[in-house]
Amino acid sequence: MIARLQATWTIGLLLMAALWLVFALPRSPVWAVGGLAFAALLYLAVMALQFTLMQRVNAADPAPRARLAQVVRAWWAELGVALRVFCWDQPFRSHAEPDWLPTAPAGQRGVVLVHGFLCNRALWRPWFEPLRAAGHAYEAVNLEPVFGSIDDYAPTIEAAVQRVHAATGLAPVLICHSMGGLAARAWLRACAGEARVQHVITLGTPHRGTWAGRFSRAANGRQMALDGDWVGALSGAEPPGRAALFTCWYSNCDNIVFPTSTATLRGADNRLIAGVAHVEMARRPEVLQGCLALLARAADPVVKS
């Protein structure tokens, strides 16, 4: 569904731009170019507002605060990454590469890739080839309904875990971006999944919710309110030591999940990647390489010996 929505949005914007040029160019080239420039500046301004709010809220957070140069760099990078993800990859390339589930176990841990809010499996497109080259079977899920409860995603994750386990003979690793990490925790709660997953890696997940969650009207968005009832109940239902199952990548320039420390779990392997924006985190080579290193360490010790 999200692919259709984003495709409609993208095509609509392009048609509006084309119609504006057809209308305005014969009358005034200056107005024609100026109208497009205004739309571009509006996009830049909205993204700048996100980073400004992030920096202000982070002032009271114990995590290391980003320098101004880091914030500007992250803003500039996110402008391009967001356009690529939301206006090309997700709307038009979500099924360009299939999941890879080899039939014969190869001693390598498989992976379940879980996207976040307003995303689909195409978020992970740069990960597919490196995972396959390293011998890791993978399935990238699509979480539906798009605006439903996070609890409703547990069956989708459960089915993917079962398929990857069947393909490899090993408990998989879950790699989750943003809301996907909360969906993984909800799956662990609903399906007693701890014994059937080797590790959970989260990238920019609002484990305690996020300041921006207060503005959402979607069911899953409201569940991500900072220190809200849903995230509180989720944490309260987890057994002692559950966080040791997690590696949490987080950033002091995350323009969606802030304050910064909300993307960490006490007792987890928390890894700060400074100066990286929210969607950009899932596209950073060092994050990908770090996750591949964790997967290599998680290989079946019997097969690898």
Question: Could you state, in order of their start, the residue ranges of all structural domains in the chain?
Answer: 1-299
Average pLDDT score over the chain: 94
CB-based contacts of 94, cutoff 8 Å, min separation 6: 3, 120, 121, 122, 142
Contact between residue 204 and residue 252 where contact means Cβ atoms under 8 Å apart: no
Unique residue bearing structure tokens 């199952």: 245
- pLDDT tens per residue across span 103-131: 766 678 999 999 999 999 999 999 999 99
Contact between residue 164 and residue 139 where contact means Cβ atoms under 8 Å apart: yes
- pLDDT tens per residue across span 157-185: 999 999 999 999 999 999 999 999 999 99
Average of pLDDT values for 221-231? 97
CA 21 – CA 137 distance, rounded (Å) = 47
Percent of the chain with pLDDT over 90: 89
Q: Given this model, what pLDDT does residue 64 score?
A: 95
CA 143 – CA 150 distance, rounded (Å) = 9
Whether the predicted model's global pTM rises above the 0.85 cut: yes
Contact between residue 194 and residue 188 where contact means Cβ atoms under 8 Å apart: yes
Q: Given this model, what pLDDT does residue 104 score?
A: 63
Bridge partners (DSSP) listed for residue 71: none
Q: Which amino acid is at 61?
A: D
SS3 16: helix
pLDDT bucket at 300, cuts 50 / 70 / 90: low
> Is residue 298 over pLDDT 90?
no
pLDDT bucket at 254, cuts 50 / 70 / 90: very high
Q: Given this model, what pLDDT does residue 106 score?
A: 67
Options 3.40.50.1820, 3.90.1150.10, 3.40.50.261, 3.40.50.1010; which CATH number does 1-299 get?
3.40.50.1820
- pLDDT tens per residue across span 9-34: 999 999 999 999 998 888 888 888 99
